[in-house]
Amino acid sequence: MRILLVNPNITHSITETMVAEARRTASPGTEIVPATAAFGTLYVENRVEASIAAHAVLEAVAEHAGDCDAVIVCAFGDPGLLAARELLDVPVVGIAESAMLLAHTLGRRYSIVCMTSRLRTWYLECAQSYGLHTRLAAVRALDTPVDVTRARETLAEPLLALCERTIAEDDAEVVVLGGGPLAGIARDIADRIPVPTLDGVSCAVQMAESLVRLAPRPPRVGSHARPRPKPARGLSPALATAMRTTAL
């Protein structure tokens, strides 16, 4: 099984962090194929950056997903996830949606802990868009500047404190660490938190593997069915081919 892991931001060190955690979680025989956005921002934090990242995700899957069995959109907030599902016939999962869905199986209420207040806004909107907000206890964010390229080394203790606060004050029964740069921290601090703690990358790998094994039929009708071809202008060759467009 080959799973394409797409980092929607341009930071290769974050890709490496997420790929390392994905490979720790993946089953024997599963190959994690990394791809980093060719354009965009250091990390994705708001609606503007998410819109740019969604385009970068589509470019990456158009170029690299051809021989893969599934795709993971590896930024919490899942930019481009639904569009990538329309474009491809293989399962496409996001680390935010995967973690939220699995949180629902582990407790009555879940919280998301993240790095910045702008991420907090985006993640709230993400949960609402998926219809997974009714059991969302809170989204807690750090209130100090962060270096996302060193998140694993510097943020474990501040994030642990936020996890403890949301359990005590928000009645959270599951905690999700929200953010691709945080990959691996949930595993590092799990023994110090009294409720299940989820990592989005690990959840997405498990979700992707399960869907590949289930082998659901690609949709031919409905909102996730592949769009009909139409004339277009200015698309990259890979994206134009994936969309089966004709040139204007």
Question: pLDDT tens for residues 80-111?
Answer: 999 999 999 999 999 999 999 999 999 999 99
CA angle 58, 59, 63 (to 5 degrees): 115
Report the alpha-carbon distance of residue 38 to residue 43 in Å, rounded: 13
pLDDT value for 152 = 85
Query: Does the 2-94+203-247 domain belong in CATH 3.40.50.300?
Result: no
* 242 three-class SS: helix
pLDDT value for 244 = 86
Average pLDDT for 207-219: 95
**What's the pLDDT band for 198 if we cut at 50, 70, 90?**
very high
Domains 2-94+203-247 and 97-200 share a fold: yes
In this predicted structure, the answer to whether residue 213 has a pLDDT above a threshold of 70 is yes
| Close Cβ partners of 135 (under 8 Å, ≥ 6 residues apart) | 103, 104, 108, 109, 110
User: Going by DSSP bridges, is the β-strand pair 70-73/110-114 parallel, antiparallel, or unpaired?
Assistant: unpaired
In this predicted structure, the answer to whether residue 153 has a pLDDT above a threshold of 90 is no
**What's the pLDDT band for 246 if we cut at 50, 70, 90?**
low
In this predicted structure, the answer to whether residue 215 has a pLDDT above a threshold of 90 is yes
Q: Tell me the average pLDDT of the chain.
A: 95
* Residue 113 near residue 186 (C-beta atoms within 8 A): no
What are the DSSP E strand ranges found in the chain? 2-7, 31-36, 70-73, 92-94, 110-114, 136-141, 174-177, 197-199, 231-232, 246-247
Report the alpha-carbon distance of residue 72 to residue 5 in Å, rounded: 5
**Neighbour order of strands in the sheet with 110-114:** 136-141, 110-114, 174-177, 197-199
pLDDT value for 245 = 77
| Close Cβ partners of 77 (under 8 Å, ≥ 6 residues apart) | 44, 50, 96, 119, 122, 123, 126
Give pTM, 2 decimals.
0.94
Long-range residue pairs from 67-71, CB within 8 A, at least 24 positions apart, any chain: 67/2, 68/2, 68/3, 68/4, 68/33, 69/1, 69/2, 69/3, 69/212, 70/1, 70/3, 70/4, 70/208, 70/209, 70/211, 70/212, 71/3, 71/4, 71/5, 71/6, 71/208
Tell me the domain boundaries of the chain.
2-94+203-247, 97-200
Structure tokens, 108: 């009555």
Kindly report the CATH number that applies to the domain delimited by 97-200: 3.40.50.12500
Percent of the chain residues topping a pLDDT of 70: 99
